[in-house]
Structure 1
Amino acid sequence: MATTLGIPSEIPRNEKENYFRMRLLLERATDVLRDVLRTQLQAAYPGLFDPSKTDKLFDILDNQQVKHSLLLLKKRKVINSSQMKLLYPSGTPSATVTTQDLDITLAVVLLRNITNLNPRAKWENPPASDTSIEANIGRVKTYRNNHMHGSPGINDTVFQAEFNAFKHVLLSLSPIYTSDDYEKLLIVPLEAKVAPCQLLSVQLPGKLADLKGREDLVQQIQQHIAGETRLVLLTGMGGIGKTSVAIEVGHRKQNVLYIDMRQVTNLESVKLSLVQYFHPTRSLKDLYSDYHNILTQTFSSSTSNTVIIFDNNDEVIKSSLQEFHNLVQTILNSTKHITLLCTSREAFSLVSHKMAVVEVPPLDKAPSIGILWEGKPNSPTDSESLVLGEIAEKCGGNPLALKLLAVQLKKKNAQRVLDRMKNKNVIESLKVANLPASQEMMACLDMSYETLNTEEQKVFRALHIFPVPFSLEEVSEMLEIDEDECESILDSLCNKSLLSVDPSFYDFHPLLRAYAAFQAQKYPNEIEHIQEAYCKHYMKQTPLLVSEFDTLSSKETYEKALKILPHLKFIACLLSDQLGNKKLHDKEIRLRFLKSQNLFVIACVFQNLFLYAEAITYYEKSLEVKKEILGEKHPDTALTYQNIGSVLSKMGRFAEALLYHKKSLLINKEIHGDKHPNTAAQYQNIGNALCNMGKPAEGLTYYEKSIGIMEEILGEKHPDTAVAYQNIATALCDMGKYAEAFTYFEKSLGIMKEILGEKHTKTATTYVNIGVALYFMGKYAEALPYYEQSLGIMKEILGDKHPDTAATYQDIGNALRRMGKYAEALTYYEKSLEIKKEILGEKHTDTAVTYMNIGTALCFIGNYIEALTNYEKSREVYVEHFGAMHPKTMSLDSFVRDVKRGILMIVIMNMSKYIATELIVKGEYGQGDRFLSFIGWDFKLYYKF
């Protein structure tokens, strides 16, 4: 019984579904154009590019003719700065970029300009008679542009025509997808939920610096890696150079992967990214479906030694230490050929594998002077060396501080730099929040900042607002600066060691970000403008994202949401602080309301990412402002009550959810009247809450009110009406009225099959529900075919690795167990458990239920020891989630006690039989017979009590 999530929308649901199904087709189109590009590059550059061996474009980009062509395209503004930086970071061909990194726009540009295709063909608006590769590539780009810049809704007639035409174009270009693959996009469930994941780069960055004074440290780490050490933990203060050392070690080893953990919002994305690296030619749709197993199989079959670097782990350790431990254990347990090198300020322990903690010390005097004097043509004089030594001492041997001052020393002599450090007033700087730096470090930062021109200082201050690495396009759009000019400023900051850069993103060192934030506070009007631009940039992406969650909820949707999640969290905090200031003039009321709406949308995203506590916080803040400005009796207020109720239901707080849904119902009835879809939806939500509270009879009355409205307004043949019939049937099942429930389930199934077809998840769910009704009626053999029908549909549409598929395996196991087929039941339970452990995790309540079912089946076949193990695993999860005194936990406790008693009695009985047998063998027949009689009686008496 799903609770409806409300979002404002004027587009009919079927048109939104059409829009998102076309989006799915466009995603396939990107894969198709990448495949075409691989084929064309292999033909145009034989010997330079072979996609069967590697997808990297380095050799192509290193070709002088290609480089010349792309530079001309950059000059003509066909390729922008960010695209050029992706292909040629630092002006040299990228060693890591592959065709998978190219979007449709860049792929088309390369196809048109550096392959054997005719650049002068009819790429734009070709006639229908032109079926050339060039024309069809142009059609793909046109479809993409029209769709992405059009309304997020397509009527049925237009959708069917465009889908079919686009499908034929894609089939003519590449065989990587079949016609059936495309047709499945018409039935794939848009509401299917999956574990949120994102793809991360695993390429080792270029060396950050010539590591003066770190050779012994690098060799020490290499010795650990070459020996039996499985985990090397590199620790030290901020700015001490942990990342530089780790990357240097990486460049001295073969088979090295690198992940910057600051980019990680979900640790599952680390596994997915590693899998994608080892299987670059496999489609993402295959990898997504089973990446847990693929990762384990890949590592376990590997025979080559590999180093994986997890850099910048501080935030991950702080927020998700146990999950991080589990990730490390999973990787190390899968193979003996992998060593992990992790960096963080603080150490952590992992006792199950041999580990070494290596602390990065401050630099000695000589290498510190080497960094300060780097780039100078002559060696320092004796007097200069003395001064440089004093500067190095004041920097505390911190490489970051030394690099900042090295820039100063290129323009000023050493004594002037030292005098400035001594005379610098840093008292004000010491007030910088969360900046763990000495006075001397603050002096270094001030001196570097003062070398920037006015525009550079303004950009530097603005960049503090980014909580994660950022792209050139983001900064250019947010600050409204021409992209080439913006790139020049960012490169200048990099040259002065105030910013770092990789091929795609710029990044701040945490100390520099804190310093930039401090400088920004001196310009309140400027920071207000920056915050407004930042919010505008990311908030314009969220309404469509929420609409996607409501309609599509694909893996790609989660990936997009996770990508902007750090920004949305920052914006939510910012808006909350701003809305806390109620001293506003009337002219600012509209702005205040718009901020509350933004907070509402962010809360919707958090809800769909399962961040329920944060979603509640921001929904309530939004509700407070809406009640203040719009009043209690307003549709937006009702919608917010409804969504708070939905989140509370997801959190299992059904009584609280009920109160919010009732408030929403009262408002909807007053505004829309009783005969309205919104009113009917609230009746459904109230019925759901009551049933979840164990009050199915009360829930049924609300379901019946809702169905009366739906039948009148939507008609009987509507998916929402069919779902309402199922809710009635479920309530009837809870009341023990299985025969009556069965009638409603069959009615719902008829509608689903007629409207949605046989191959649809809602149809599959209805089959399951009919099976459940039969199961509770004791008709286990009749329930089984319905479960199996559902399983077939779910496996075809959702794949084997999906929670709904796992649940159906479990349902089949339950029916088989009730039929006395315990061995067969165990097979299905174990399949269900395997999926749930991979997708939901070991500590999920659904996983615990399957452990309990396995325990019960094992008891029936007499395997009490294994049964006890499974019961105890289940109980551990229940205690963690519900507490030791919860009825579910206490019920499981009784199972555990019974099994333990059973094991004990078997032991006693076997020992007693042995003693009696020994007595009889010795000829003491009377005593042996009496002993057996006594034990048999005692055994029965034990179970009586």
Structure 2
Amino acid sequence: MATAAIPRNEIENTMRMGLMIHRSQDVLQDVLSTQLLTTYPGLFDPSNGGKLFDILTDQKANQTLLQLKKMKVLNASQMKLLYPSGNPSTTVTLKDLDVTLTVVLLRNITTLNPKGSWENPPTSDTSMEAQIGRVKKYRNKFSHGGASLTDAAFQTQFTELKALLLSLSTIYSSDDYDKLLTDPLHAAEAPCELISTNLPSRTPELKGRVDLVQKILQHVENDTKLILLTGMGGIGKTSIAVEVGHHRKYVRKDVLHIDMRKVVNLDSVKLSLVQQYHPNQFLKDIYSDYQNKFTQTMSNLATDTLLILDNNDSVLNSHQQEFLQLLEEVMNSSKHITLLCTSRESFSLPSQTTVTIDIPPLGKTSSSEVLWGENTISPTDTETEALGEISEKCGHNPLALKLAATQIKLKTVQKVFEKMKRIKVLPSLQLPNIPASQGMLTCLEMSYETLNDTEKKVFRGLHIFPVAFHSKEVSEILEMDEDECESVLDNLSAKSLLSLVQNTYDLHPLVKEYAEFLAQTDSNEISHTRKKYCDYYIRLMLQLYIVDTVEASLFENMSKLVPHLHMTATLLKMELCTSNIQQKKIKINILQEIANTFHFLFLNEEALSIFQSVEVEMHTKFEGQPTEKAELQNNIGCVLHAMDKGKYKEAHDYYKKCLEIREELLGINHSDTATSYNNIGRVQQSMGKYKEALDYHKKCLEVREALLGPKHPETATTYGHIGCALKAMGKYEEALDYQKKCLKVREELLGPKHPDTASSYNSIGDALQTMDMGEYKEALDYHKTCLKVREELLGSKHPDTATSYDNIACTLKTMAMGKYKESLDNFKICLEVREELQGTKHPDTAVSYNNIGNVLSDMDMGKFKEALDYYKKSEEVMEEVLGPKHPNTAQLYGNIGYLLQIMGDYKGALPYLKRCHKLRKEILGPKHPNTDMS
């Protein structure tokens, strides 16, 4: 059986609230549509898609909007949407407006009262202006903080917002909103953004590196496993690696590129590689068992592939051992992979065939060619001599030469040379990561001096970005008009201080270090920049939860934020020690939201690290707010429960701490307390402690039935949990009763074509199949119904669909006059899917090996040797993954023992049978049906 997902109620509540916020945008757009029809008769027609062109050309509306821009009510991006190039947009429609812009238009260009109670209206005011203001307040609340909602808070706020929206528009009914409580939050997530098959642009006319590129290509073709390109910053390692990649692509070889500056967690490299080759798999399924999937994916690689890992300096400084282990795993898992890595310092992997190439400075001729650039007139003898002197001062470093070449283009060779001789670089500028060559620093200093004050401020501010960026981000963080900001960035790019590729700007690591040094000279400026940076990405993170809640783009867009959220968390943790109590609480709340986002993205190591930092801060710096501590302990428990090789015992301890606080403060009859009972029950079941799990699920049920009633999705889920625990304990009839109660509620509330309803069909089929009287025909019908729904909703290649094939096969095998051939066919379909999606070393795959062994040993022809081979494969995986003391492992020992007995190997059978009986008695108890059977 596939393992059920760990519940994350607070995150799910936030996501469902986000759906309501998204609906609120539709409602406000509907209100604006009605108001425009009234205010501008004949100018606005909703039937043409809600185009705003005629409204924007209206003289009065146009004047009002221009005035709002002067008053900075409308920003540059909003004006660009409405008036691109200064003219009314011919394409913009109502649907293009966000909540903020919609409210601005409602307030200023319709007949509504602009001086009404739009902000903080009194309770007694139920005017349209006041109701719109309240909706916007909800939207702002969830865009600027508190993206975690307990069950109680969620129910209250959902009800309040629903009433507001119903008072403003009838485009959605009360039932439409209520469906948001039960609609499945399932979506095929978008691919990881880390890996790119599109290489960065190659450097035009890569001077003096042709022979070096050919040398590297020769190593690639000779199957060298690891090629290291090392050398000082600015020497051109990335340009050379990219050039090699383009050569390989030209001869139709596979090339993948990862900018390691984007990597926060090295496991994300493995995840990205898996999804690169399995783009249609669900990310949540990849994350559930990515280690095995990674090994299998790489071992199945059949084409020669060059994997470029670029800019490894940071990861080598912070996680060198883990990085080297990653490289080992990549190379050991596939004979078709060649790694090409760039870093300033070299490293070694003795177990691999490694070639290290230290990139030398350019030769004199190539250096002069870079400095002279595209000038078609040959330099004079004097200029040639000066070019040589400049090259020497630049240390023949390509980056320094490029910076100097930009100055030569603006001035003359002689003037640049004279200036370089005059500039004395301060000792304080000799940063450890900047090459010792004074010429590099001289070129940076010289380029910086040519900037005006605005350009200098922007350049200093750019150090904050850990990865490439766009002008919109910079303009928001540095509080500039976007058009002006874009112009400044273009000027910096023209002076070679920035690179620009397809509207994306990037700082070379050396230039970034120089900008950071300059920024640190003004503590007020750098503090303000950091604050604006954090505010921007926190807001963006929370907005994504609202806008992209169930869209396929959520994972894609949220993944793009990971380096920025990691930087934000780092900056906030640095500031905790200098903040007062109130500021500290705000920062702690934000840190928890970032941790929740990492958990949402399955970056659980990062989430746990942040949560544990918050835990230490809460414990050592201030007491009080026990409900917040309970929430934190619950979150840590969820992360531990979800981590690879589930840390169930630690998760259980945190869940218990949370429960103790909730029972004391909220009482036992509270929805949050019920959630704690549920979480402890789930982790107990994961640990194989079925009796304890049942007790907690029954406590949860008692509270949920009292608070929510029996006809509620969460109550139905609890019925299902109780049924699973009872089945595991061998109480099959009771289990069936609870599963049928669960199904009845789900069919009524969710309908038959819903993943949760399909799970109920599956659970009932299981219960019927295992009952003493074996209702096999009915069980088979339920399993087939489940399979039909899952294939329609999830597709044929999905772990849950594979489980349905497995259950159908089990039922066919146990039916009267067992249908062994048909059973074996279904088992093999299941195994094929599990091996592809979950790998060979996964508990579910081990179950498939066991099941195929079972049916082979029972078939008329008695394929005992083949059956034993499958059992042995299952034994190897189960002992490694589940351990010897697990119910499934115990059952397998029994199967092997019985088979050896049938084959006449009594001496070999006895140890297995004894182990089976001993384990079942220890794990399940002496009165369990399976213990009696052994």
TM (norm. structure 1) is 0.68
In the TM superposition, residue 597 of structure 1 has moved relative to its aligned partner by 0.4
SS in 1 for 2:751: coil
1:643-654 equivalence runs, <5 A = 643-651=635-643, 652-654=646-648
1:686-697 equivalence runs, <5 A = 686-697=680-691
In the TM superposition, residue 453 of structure 1 has moved relative to its aligned partner by 2.9
Q: Structure 2: where are the runs of 5+ without partners?
A: 28-64, 70-77, 104-134, 143-157, 912-934
Question: Does residue 682 of structure 1 match 2:676?
Answer: yes
Which residue is equivalent to 1:672? Answer: 666
The answer to whether the 8 Å contact 2:884/2:890 transfers is: no
Which residue is equivalent to 2:529? Answer: 530
C-alpha distance in 2 between matches for 1:309 and 1:511: 24
Which residue is equivalent to 2:700? Answer: 706
SS in 2 for 1:261: strand
Structure 1 window deviating more from structure 2 (873-882 vs 520-529): it is: 873-882
Query: Which amino acid in the other structure matches residue 601 of structure 2?
Result: L
C-alpha distance in 2 between matches for 1:523 and 1:108: 38
1:554-703 equivalence runs, <5 A = 555-579=552-576, 581=577, 584=579, 588-626=580-618, 631-651=623-643, 652-703=646-697
In the TM superposition, residue 644 of structure 1 has moved relative to its aligned partner by 1.4
Q: Share of identical aligned residues, percent?
A: 37
| Partner of residue 799 from structure 2, selected from 777, 800, 803 | 803
| Partner of residue 766 from structure 1, selected from 754, 757, 760 | 760
The answer to whether the 8 Å contact 2:229/2:356 transfers is: yes
Which residue is equivalent to 2:121? Answer: none
| Partner of residue 239 from structure 2, selected from 235, 244, 265 | 244
Which residue is equivalent to 1:756? Answer: 750
The answer to whether the 8 Å contact 2:238/2:311 transfers is: no
In the TM superposition, residue 747 of structure 1 has moved relative to its aligned partner by 0.8
In the TM superposition, residue 759 of structure 1 has moved relative to its aligned partner by 0.6
SS in 1 for 2:652: helix
| Partner of residue 788 from structure 2, selected from 788, 792, 801 | 792
In the TM superposition, residue 275 of structure 1 has moved relative to its aligned partner by 9.0
In structure 2, the CA distance between the partners of 1:536 and 1:887, relative to structure 1 (3 Å rule), is: same
The answer to whether the 8 Å contact 2:746/2:757 transfers is: yes
In the TM superposition, residue 444 of structure 1 has moved relative to its aligned partner by 3.6
C-alpha distance in 1 between matches for 2:439 and 2:253: 37
C-alpha distance in 1 between matches for 2:725 and 2:229: 57
In the TM superposition, residue 794 of structure 1 has moved relative to its aligned partner by 1.4
- 1:456-491 Cα offsets, whole Å, 9 max, x none, are 222222112111111111111111111121112211
Aligned residues: 768
Which residue is equivalent to 1:57? Answer: none
C-alpha distance in 1 between matches for 2:633 and 2:486: 46
In the TM superposition, residue 757 of structure 1 has moved relative to its aligned partner by 0.7
Which residue is equivalent to 2:203? Answer: 208
Which residue is equivalent to 2:729? Answer: 735
Structure 1 window deviating more from structure 2 (553-562 vs 323-332): it is: 323-332
| Partner of residue 185 from structure 2, selected from 185, 190, 195 | 190
In structure 2, the CA distance between the partners of 1:707 and 1:650, relative to structure 1 (3 Å rule), is: same
Query: Which amino acid in the other structure matches residue 505 of structure 1?
Result: T
1:130-529 equivalence runs, <5 A = 138=93, 140-141=95-96, 151=139, 155=162, 162=171, 189-191=184-186, 197-198=192-193, 202-203=197-198, 205-218=200-213, 233=227, 235-237=229-231, 238-248=233-243, 253=250, 260-262=257-259, 269=272, 310=308, 312=310, 314=312, 342=340, 344-345=342-343, 360-375=359-374, 378-382=377-381, 384-410=383-409, 411=411, 413=413, 417=417, 420=420, 424-425=424-425, 427-432=427-432, 434-435=433-434, 438-529=437-528
Query: Which amino acid in the other structure matches residue 635 of structure 1?
Result: T
C-alpha distance in 2 between matches for 1:504 and 1:843: 44
C-alpha distance in 2 between matches for 1:3 and 1:745: 19
Which residue is equivalent to 1:41? Answer: none
C-alpha distance in 1 between matches for 2:479 and 2:395: 39
Query: Which amino acid in the other structure matches residue 835 of structure 1?
Result: V
C-alpha distance in 2 between matches for 1:716 and 1:723: 11
In structure 2, the CA distance between the partners of 1:331 and 1:203, relative to structure 1 (3 Å rule), is: farther
In the TM superposition, residue 721 of structure 1 has moved relative to its aligned partner by 0.7
Question: Does residue 725 of structure 1 match 2:719?
Answer: yes
C-alpha distance in 2 between matches for 1:839 and 1:188: 26
C-alpha distance in 2 between matches for 1:518 and 1:843: 49
C-alpha distance in 1 between matches for 2:311 and 2:875: 32
Which residue is equivalent to 1:5? Answer: 8
In the TM superposition, residue 703 of structure 1 has moved relative to its aligned partner by 2.2
C-alpha distance in 1 between matches for 2:435 and 2:841: 37
C-alpha distance in 1 between matches for 2:613 and 2:219: 52
C-alpha distance in 2 between matches for 1:823 and 1:754: 37
SS in 2 for 1:190: coil
Query: Which amino acid in the other structure matches residue 7 of structure 1?
Result: E
C-alpha distance in 1 between matches for 2:754 and 2:554: 20
Query: Which amino acid in the other structure matches residue 370 of structure 1?
Result: E
C-alpha distance in 1 between matches for 2:494 and 2:740: 71
C-alpha distance in 2 between matches for 1:347 and 1:896: 50
In the TM superposition, residue 599 of structure 1 has moved relative to its aligned partner by 0.4
In structure 2, the CA distance between the partners of 1:738 and 1:898, relative to structure 1 (3 Å rule), is: closer
The answer to whether the 8 Å contact 1:224/1:232 transfers is: no
Q: Structure 1: where are the runs of 5+ without partners?
A: 26-75, 81-102, 114-118, 125-137, 168-183, 277-283, 334-338, 907-935
In structure 2, the CA distance between the partners of 1:615 and 1:430, relative to structure 1 (3 Å rule), is: same
TM (norm. structure 2) is 0.69
C-alpha distance in 2 between matches for 1:847 and 1:350: 34
In the TM superposition, residue 285 of structure 1 has moved relative to its aligned partner by 11
The answer to whether the 8 Å contact 2:897/2:908 transfers is: no
In structure 2, the CA distance between the partners of 1:557 and 1:163, relative to structure 1 (3 Å rule), is: farther
In the TM superposition, residue 616 of structure 1 has moved relative to its aligned partner by 1.9
Query: Which amino acid in the other structure matches residue 567 of structure 1?
Result: H
Which residue is equivalent to 1:46? Answer: none
In structure 2, the CA distance between the partners of 1:787 and 1:802, relative to structure 1 (3 Å rule), is: same
Query: Which amino acid in the other structure matches residue 531 of structure 1?
Result: R
The answer to whether the 8 Å contact 1:221/1:232 transfers is: no
Which residue is equivalent to 1:745? Answer: 739
In structure 2, the CA distance between the partners of 1:452 and 1:818, relative to structure 1 (3 Å rule), is: farther
The answer to whether the 8 Å contact 1:7/1:546 transfers is: no
C-alpha distance in 2 between matches for 1:665 and 1:483: 50
In structure 2, the CA distance between the partners of 1:872 and 1:408, relative to structure 1 (3 Å rule), is: farther
C-alpha distance in 1 between matches for 2:610 and 2:879: 30
